[in-house]
Amino acid sequence: MPNRTAGDLAIFLGCPIRGEAHITLKGVASPDRAEADDLVYLGSDRNSERVSRSAARCVITSPDLLVSGKTLILAAQPKLAFARAAGWLVPSPPIANGVHATAVVAESARLGAGSAVGPFAVIEEEVVVGEGTQVGAFCFLGRGSELGKGCRLYPRVTLYEGVKIGANVVVHSGAVLGCDGFGYVTDQGKHWKFPQMGDLEIADDVEIGSNTTIARGSLETTRVASQVKLDNLVHVAHNVQLGERTLVAAQTGIAGSSIIGSDVVIGGQVGIADHCRLEDGCVAGAQAGIPSGKVVRSGQVVWGTPARPIARFKEQYGWFARLPELAERVRNLEESGRRGH
C-alpha cells in the first residue's frame, strides 16, 4: 500500500487540516498506545490531556477542541470521521486468496470475478458467489444460496440451502444462517414438527456477529434489511422482520413472527417474545423482557421485565429498592399499635 499522508486523509474525509499535511499515517490507535505515525481522535474535552501526551502527530478533532503541537483534521463528528479513516488507512486483510486446492466447489456453482474460497470450504450446487466476495476456511454454502458482491464470510460460517445475501455483507465465524425455526404442534404426548420451508433474505451492508443464528421462515420469509448490525450470540427466529439500520446487542433473542422497525436499538440480553412489534426508532434497554404480542411505540424507550417506559420503570424500581425500609416501618407501626393496646 502506498504511503498516505495527513493531507491525503483530509481530502478523503472532506475536512480542513491545520498543521503539517505531509506527515505519513500508517495506522490508527488509542492515544496511550499510538506511535508517531498513528492517527488518533479527540471526541470530548475529558480526553484532551491524553491526546496532548500521545506520541501521535495527527489528531481528528472538532473545531472547538483544539490541541497544540499536533496536526489537526477538523471534523464535525470526530468519532465518525475516525471510523471512516480507519477503514481507509487500514483495510481488512483478505480472508482467502483464490480458490484453495482443498475447497469443494460444485460444477454448477458460479464464482464471480475476484472471489476467493478458503481451505476446506464447501460450495454446493447452483450457489452464486458475487464478484470480490471472500469465503473463509471451513465455510459451508448450501445448494442454491446466493451471495452478492464484496461479502466477507469468516471461517466456519454456515448457509443453509437457498439463503439469499446482498452485497457487502460481513458474517463472522460460527454464524448459522437459514436453519430451521423452532415450531412444533403437540398432540397426544408427541411434538410434531411444523414445516420450516420458507426463505431467509439478508439485504446489503449487514454485519452478523459470531455464533449468531437466523432461522429461515416457516412458510414465509425471514428478512434482515440493509445496514442492520447484529452482535455476537444473537438469535433471530422464523418469520422475523428486521428493519433498516437496526442494532441488536449480544445475547438477545427475538422470537418468531416479531416485527422490528427501522433504527431500533436493542440492548444486550433482551428477550422479545413472539408476534411483538417494535416500531421505528424505539429502544429496548439491556435485559428487557417484551411479552408476546406487545407493541413498543415509535421513539419509546423501554426497560425491565415486563418491559415498560423507562420513566415508569425507574419510579417502580425506586420503590422496589425501598421495600426493606418500608417493611421495617410497617413492623414498627404494628409493634407500636400492639403496645398501644
* Cα distances (angstroms) measured from residue 139 to each of 1, 120, 154, 195, 333: 29, 8, 8, 26, 69
Structure confidence at residue 316 (pLDDT):
85
This prediction has a pTM of 0.90
Structure confidence at residue 81 (pLDDT):
97
Structure confidence at residue 339 (pLDDT):
74
Structure confidence at residue 332 (pLDDT):
85
Decide: 218 and 197 in contact? Cβ < 8 Å. Answer: yes
Residues with catalytic roles: 238
Per-residue pLDDT tens digits for 332-341:
888 887 776 6
- The list of the chain residues with pLDDT below 50 reads none
Decide: 144 and 163 in contact? Cβ < 8 Å. Answer: no
Q: Report the distance separating Cα 67 and Cα 77, nearest Å.
A: 16
The secondary structure of 264-293 as a DSSP string is -EE-TT-EE-TT-EE-TT-EE-TT-EE-TT
**Phi and psi angles of residue 258, each rounded to the nearest 5 degrees, phi first:** -80, 150
Structure confidence at residue 1 (pLDDT):
63
